[in-house]
Amino acid sequence: MKGTDCLKKTFVIIFTPGANWIVGKTSREQPYWTEHAAFMDALFENGIVIMGGPFADYSSIIIVLESSDEGEVRDLFRHDPFVVQRILHLSSVHEWLVFLDTRKKGE
């Protein structure tokens, strides 16, 4: 790792359905999906979000990302349209100590 990448930590965010989640609909069928998808796509393109998606039963959504600290993660996701519109609730943010990662093979 070089430069500021060395300062990045891995975090796991867990979201649960918020007050305005429509039961029986998938995340792509929720209001504000287009805005949420654009927000997430930008984070993915910028290399912040590594992976993410819902459990098959939509009981929770998990996002894995890299950031410098938990506060930055929480600040970032305060702007997610799904959070703003209470489609999702940010339940928890955990720093994750990754021991096995195929992306880092050969480093």
DSSP helix/strand/coil, 89: strand
Tokens of 74: 């929480």
pLDDT 10s digits, 34-86: 999 999 999 999 999 999 999 999 999 999 999 999 999 999 999 999 999 99
Euclidean distance between CA atoms 44 and 20, whole angstroms: 25
Q: How buried is 36 (Cβ within 10 angstroms: 0-12 exposed, 13-18 middle, 19+ buried)?
A: buried
Position 84 scores a pLDDT of 98
pLDDT at 107: 66
Predicted TM-score (pTM) of this structure: 0.86
Q: pLDDT-derived band of residue 3, with 50, 70 and 90 as boundaries? A: very low
96 pLDDT exceeds 70? Answer: yes
Span 100-106, mean pLDDT? 79
* Structural domains of the chain in order of their starting residue, each with its CATH number: 3-98 (3.30.70.1060)
